[in-house]
Amino acid sequence: MGLIICFILGVTNFACHKAVMKSGHPFVEDTKTYFGKHFGKYGGYSIEFLILLGALIYSNSLILTFIYIAYSGLNMVTAYMLINGKI
């Protein structure tokens, strides 16, 4: 069950990441300039993938699954705030 939950949350994290990158928010644009120079255009996606991969590998651990659920929740709240101009 933890594997399915982590996979679904991983898909939503990637969707949030893509929406934030296309939002045009000034903070995101500044970050893309700095982060893109050091890690490439898709560096953020690769880090997101590594976090998801770790969550999927250790999805049998209840504590790590809850940590990934909390991470995903914070990710979704932050994406909502950046896209809607709350920050």
Separation of alpha carbons 52 and 33, rounded Å: 24
pLDDT for the residue numbered 36: 66
pLDDT tens, residue by residue, 20-75: 888 877 777 777 677 666 776 677 788 888 888 988 888 888 888 898 899 999 99
Closest residue by Cα to residue 68 from 82, 46, 47, 53? 53
Look-up of token digits 């914070």: 74
Token match 């934030």: residue?
20
- Of 24, 45, 50, 23, the C-alpha closest to 35 is 45
Residue with tokens 């949350």: 9
